[in-house]
């Protein structure tokens, strides 16, 4: 209950819908129970006692009752649904907002699949409960209550006798329920496995074919397919065992009714019409009981879903933007100083950065070099405040980095991330992602600098080409060039290139670098690279190892010092030296 209490802010504003829905439900149930009563009255009073003149009124009563029920059903269902979908709409917006502002730290451990299942399946379970589940509980109580009341009114002994069967039904229902849900879970898991298997096969098809493993793949697939079928057959066995049994128990109830009710009628303590009404009324009780397991299960599932949603909502958002009074647009220069900065990710013990100190003055280029995991990316993640430093001080333009609002800070920084991500959107919109209103000329200008204009123009739809799953596939190098242009369009004061040209060939890289040298004028630039050729023009190269600075200096200085940089250089430049010798 606490879960629903805490989610109150989402559904409580729309409680009017819910109240109307419940009110309508009350009428629906009442009218449902009245129908067999009219039938009873027709048989016992109008027909058997020959009061035929009342028939038209009874017919009218039926029309009234059914119309009332029809309208009430409409209100009940529509308002009930509305209550659910409007709540969920609000909830989704809030969740989406939350996701936009959760820190990188959160996404390091989050799996897309898990988040997606929360945003879709769990939200849906919650909606279903609000729209349908809640009212079902009420419906159960009302329908069983009303029917019982009418039955007791007609005949106490007959009610007691027919209801004697209920405990058996309850036992079967609860047993069924216990067994069916693991079954459904099994199906879901099996389907996920099957899905993974096929997806993997399709995306790895080139590898499969290259190693001619099609037959092996068929065998592997058969396993998953077989398992999926078996899980379905298992559940149909459970279904086949319990469902007919439940129906049979209900039917036995009807047989009791016929025998004992018939006996009572012959005795004269029950009217034939009352007996007929009983046949309808017992199903108003048996039906909901058969569904009870389903309702209880839905309740517990939606509770679990609610908890999973709260887990996201409870996550701490990234730090609130402090001191919005800095007027940066005019003053922002982008001079960065690190003093003794350390960073430890999450709960890890080993720090990713230890005592980093450097200064990047206006218009300077800093190269960051080192093996995978040496801390190069960590440094830029602190500048963009994707992560918060654990110790030390980062100063930008003489002010602590904390004094800038994250939004304004990031508007001044153009980042090309290591893994290129492009959105399902036109190339133009992808390029203008950081500044959606940027004029076309500027976009083309930036694309030219990133050596992307040529291939974009060659596409059938040019800049309006839509990228994405079903759209056009670009090569890794082309994607990187778009990402570079995207950063240039930001017109940032600080430019960060995290291994941004890894997938483009050497000639293109040289072209891009040349263009960059112009772009970088007056901006502070950070280049992370594996190839020494990418950083050799930097004003300062920082060589990192295990989160510490192990060497620093210009390209020439570092070459002369015969340290780790020299070693990397030598390995990478075998080719180049060779070429130089040759020509």
Partner 1 sequence: MEQITKRSRFHYTTEQIIEKPFNWKQMVRLLGYMKPYARTLLPKTIIAMLIVTAVRIAVPIFIGVLAIDHAIIPGNLNLLYTFAAIVLGLYLFSWIANVFRIRWMNEIGQHMIFDIRTALFNHIQRLSHRFFDQRSGGSILVRVINDVNSMQDLFTNGVVNLLMDIVMLIGIVVILFTLSPELAMLVLLVLPIMFFISTKLRRKIRRSWQTVRIRQSKMNSHLNESIQGIRVTQAYAQEEENMKFFNDVNTDNYESWKHATRMNAIFRPFVEMSSAIGAVVLIWYGANLIESEAISIGIFVSFAFYLGMFWEPISRLGQVYNQLLVGMASSERIFEFLDEKPSVPEKSDAKSLGDVKGEIQFDDVEFAYDESRKALHDINLTFEGGKTIALVGHTGSGKSTIVNLMSRFYDPTKGRVLLDGIDLRDLRLDELRSNVSYVLQDTFIFAGTIMDNIRFGRPTATDQDVVDAASAIGAHEFIEKLENGYDTEVEEKGNVLSVGERQLLSFARALLADPRILILDEATASIDTETELKIQRGLKKLLAGRTAIMIAHRLSTIRDADKIIVLENGHVLEEGTHDELMKAQGAYYGLVKSQYAAIMENE
Contact positions with partner 1 (CB under 8 A) in 365-384? 371-372, 384
User: Which residue's CB is nearer to partner 1, number 329 or number 372?
Assistant: 372
User: Which residue's CB is nearer to partner 1, number 361 or number 513?
Assistant: 513
What CA–CA distance (Å, rounded) separates 71 from 25?
10
In angstroms, what CA-CA distances link 17 with 14, 70, 80, 91, 138?
Answer: 6, 18, 7, 17, 15
Task: Report the residue from 27, 115, 313, 459 that binds partner 1 according to the rule CB under 8 A.
Answer: 115
User: Residue 568 CB: number of other CB atoms within 10 A?
Assistant: 18
CB of 412 to partner 1, least distance (A): 10
Which residue is it, tokens 């690279």? 529
**Do strands 540-545 and 365-370 pair parallel, antiparallel, or not at all (unpaired)?**
parallel
Task: List CB contacts of 63: < 8 A, sequence separation 6 or more.
Answer: none
Task: Report the residue from 444, 504, 538, 558 that binds partner 1 according to the rule CB under 8 A.
Answer: 504
User: Which residue's CB is nearer to partner 1, number 123 or number 333?
Assistant: 123
Q: CA 417 from chain center: how many Å?
A: 23
CB of 210 to partner 1, least distance (A): 4
Q: With CB under 8 A as the contact rule, which of the stretches 66-74, 135-143, 301-309, 341-349 interacts with partner 1?
A: 66-74
Binding mask 518-557 toward partner 1 (x if CB under 8 A, else -) reads -----------xxx-x--xx--------------------
* Partners of residue 551 on adjacent β-strands: 543
What CA–CA distance (Å, rounded) separates 160 from 413?
78
138-150: burial string, b at 16+ Cβ within 10 Å, e else: ebbebbbebbbeb
Is residue 41 within 8 A of residue 35, CB to CB? The reply is no
Is residue 444 within 8 A of residue 436, CB to CB? The reply is no
Residue 505 sits in the site that holds partner 1 (CB under 8 A)? yes
Q: With CB under 8 A as the contact rule, which of the stretches 33-41, 154-162, 333-341, 355-363 interacts with partner 1?
A: 33-41
Task: Report the residue from 198, 313, 550, 559 that binds partner 1 according to the rule CB under 8 A.
Answer: 198
CB of 449 to partner 1, least distance (A): 16
What CA–CA distance (Å, rounded) separates 516 from 488?
9
Binding mask 246-275 toward partner 1 (x if CB under 8 A, else -) reads -xx--xx-xx--xx--xx-xx-----x--x
Q: With CB under 8 A as the contact rule, which of the stretches 47-55, 290-298, 307-315, 349-357 interacts with partner 1?
A: 47-55
CB of 426 to partner 1, least distance (A): 6
Task: Report the residue from 93, 300, 340, 400 that binds partner 1 according to the rule CB under 8 A.
Answer: 93
CA nearest neighbour of 278 among 170, 155, 142, 164: 155
The number of CA neighbours under 13 Å toward the Cβ of 270 is 26
How wide is the angle at C-alpha 558 spanned by C-alphas 554 and 562, nearest 5°? 170
Task: Name which of residues 562 to 581 contact partner 1 (CB under 8 A).
Answer: 567-568, 571-572, 574-576, 578-580
* Partners of residue 336 on adjacent β-strands: 360, 396
Greatest CA separation for the chain: 121
Task: Report the residue from 27, 30, 86, 148 that binds partner 1 according to the rule CB under 8 A.
Answer: 86
CB of 1 to partner 1, least distance (A): 27
Task: Report the residue from 510, 515, 550, 559 that binds partner 1 according to the rule CB under 8 A.
Answer: 510
User: Which residue's CB is nearer to partner 1, number 252 or number 296?
Assistant: 252
Is residue 359 within 8 A of residue 337, CB to CB? The reply is yes
Two structure tokens written together for 42? 């027709």
Number of residues that bind partner 1 (CB under 8 A): 165
Binding mask 457-476 toward partner 1 (x if CB under 8 A, else -) reads -------x-x-xxxx---xx
Residue 69 sits in the site that holds partner 1 (CB under 8 A)? yes
CA nearest neighbour of 521 among 539, 540, 501, 543: 539
What CA–CA distance (Å, rounded) separates 240 from 176?
10
CB of 231 to partner 1, least distance (A): 9
Task: Name which of residues 394 to 433 contact partner 1 (CB under 8 A).
Answer: 406-407, 410-411, 413, 415, 417, 421, 423-426, 429, 433
Q: With CB under 8 A as the contact rule, which of the stretches 234-242, 299-307, 351-359, 443-451 interacts with partner 1?
A: 234-242
Is residue 486 within 8 A of residue 456, CB to CB? The reply is no
Task: Name which of residues 125 to 164 contact partner 1 (CB under 8 A).
Answer: none
CB of 102 to partner 1, least distance (A): 8
Burial label, 311 (beta-carbon count in 10 A; 0-12, 13-18, 19+): exposed
What CA–CA distance (Å, rounded) separates 187 from 522?
60
Residue 200 sits in the site that holds partner 1 (CB under 8 A)? yes
CB of 541 to partner 1, least distance (A): 14
User: Which residue's CB is nearer to partner 1, number 320 or number 571?
Assistant: 571
Q: CA 451 from chain center: how many Å?
A: 36
CB of 464 to partner 1, least distance (A): 6
CB of 350 to partner 1, least distance (A): 15
Q: With CB under 8 A as the contact rule, which of the stretches 187-195, 341-349, 441-449, 546-554 interacts with partner 1?
A: 187-195
What CA–CA distance (Å, rounded) separates 142 from 144?
6
User: Residue 98 CB: number of other CB atoms within 10 A?
Assistant: 15
User: Which residue's CB is nearer to partner 1, number 303 or number 530?
Assistant: 530
CB of 348 to partner 1, least distance (A): 15
Kindly report each contact of residues 455-461 with a partner whose C-beta sits within 8 Å and lies 24 or more positions away, as own/partner.
455/481, 456/427, 456/482, 459/427
Helix-helix angle 506-519:476-489, to 10 degrees: 0
Task: List CB contacts of 220: < 8 A, sequence separation 6 or more.
Answer: 197
Residue 188 sits in the site that holds partner 1 (CB under 8 A)? no
User: Which residue's CB is nearer to partner 1, number 200 or number 445?
Assistant: 200
Task: Report the residue from 207, 340, 560, 561 that binds partner 1 according to the rule CB under 8 A.
Answer: 207
Task: Report the residue from 27, 85, 313, 515 that binds partner 1 according to the rule CB under 8 A.
Answer: 85
Binding mask 293-322 toward partner 1 (x if CB under 8 A, else -) reads ------------------------------
């Amino acid at each position: 209950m606490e879960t629903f209490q805490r989610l109150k802010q989402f559904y409580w504003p729309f409680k009017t819908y819910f109240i109307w829905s419940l009110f309508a439900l009350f009428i629906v149930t009442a009218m449902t129970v009245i129908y067999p009563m009219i039938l009873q009255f027709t048989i016992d009073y109008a027909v058997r006692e020959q009061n035929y003149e009342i028939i038209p009124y009874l017919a009218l009563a039926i029309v009234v009752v059914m119309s009332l029920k029809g309208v009430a059903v409409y209100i009940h269902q529509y308002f009930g649904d509305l209550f659910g979908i409007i709540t969920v709409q609000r909830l989704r917006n809030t969740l989406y907002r939350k996701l936009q502002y959760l820190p990188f730290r959160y996404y390091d451990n989050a799996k897309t699949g898990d988040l997606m299942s929360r945003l879709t399946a769990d939200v849906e379970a919650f909606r279903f409960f609000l729209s349908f589940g809640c009212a079902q509980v009420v419906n159960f109580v009302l329908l069983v209550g009303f029917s019982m009341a009418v039955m007791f009114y007609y005949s106490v002994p007959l009610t007691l006798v027919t209801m004697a069967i209920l405990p058996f039904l309850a036992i079967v229902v609860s047993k069924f329920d216990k067994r069916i849900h693991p079954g459904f879970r099994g199906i879901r898991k099996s389907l996920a496995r099957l899905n993974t298997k096929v997806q993997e096969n399709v995306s790895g098809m080139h590898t499969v074919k290259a190693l001619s493993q099609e037959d092996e793949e068929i065998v592997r697939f058969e396993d998953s397919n077989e398992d999926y079928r078996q899980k379905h057959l298992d559940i149909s066995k459970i279904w086949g065992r319990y469902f007919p049994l439940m129906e049979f128990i209900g039917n036995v109830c009807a047989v009791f009714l016929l025998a004992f009710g018939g006996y009572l009628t012959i005795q004269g303590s029950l009217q034939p019409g009352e007996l007929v009404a009983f046949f309808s009324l017992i199903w108003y009780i048996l039906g909901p009981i058969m569904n009870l397991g389903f309702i209880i299960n839905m309740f517990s599932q939606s509770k679990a879903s609610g908890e999973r949603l709260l887990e996201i909502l409870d996550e701490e958002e990234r730090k609130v933007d402090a001191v919005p009074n800095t007027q940066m647009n005019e003053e922002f220069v982008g001079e960065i100083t690190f003093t003794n900065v350390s960073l430890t990710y999450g709960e890890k013990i080993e720090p990713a950065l230890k005592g980093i100190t450097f200064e990047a003055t206006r218009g300077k280029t800093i190269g960051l070099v080192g093996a995978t995991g040496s801390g190069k990316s960590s440094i830029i993640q602190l500048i963009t405040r994707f992560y918060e430093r654990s110790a030390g001080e980062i100063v930008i333009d003489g002010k602590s980095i904390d004094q800038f609002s994250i939004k304004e800070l990031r508007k001044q920084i153009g980042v090309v991330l290591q893994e290129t991500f492009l959105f399902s959107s036109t190339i133009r919109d992808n390029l203008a992602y950081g500044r959606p209103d940027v004029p076309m000329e500027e976009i083309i200008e930036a694309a030219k600098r990133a050596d992307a204009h040529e291939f974009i123009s060659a596409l059938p739809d040019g800049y309006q080409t839509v990228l994405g799953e079903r759209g056009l596939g670009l090569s890794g190098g082309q994607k990187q060039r778009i990402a570079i242009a995207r950063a240039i369009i930001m017109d940032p004061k600080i430019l960060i290139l995290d291994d941004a040209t890894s997938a483009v060939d050497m000639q293109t890289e040289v072209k891009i670098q040349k263009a960059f040298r112009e772009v970088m004028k007056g901006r502070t630039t950070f280049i992370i690279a594996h190839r020494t050729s990418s950083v050799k023009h930097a004003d300062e190269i920082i060589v990192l190892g295990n989160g510490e600075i192990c060497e620093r200096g210009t390209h020439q200085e570092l070459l002369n010092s015969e340290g780790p940089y020299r070693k990397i250089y030598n390995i990478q430049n075998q080719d180049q030296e060779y070429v130089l010798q040759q020509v």
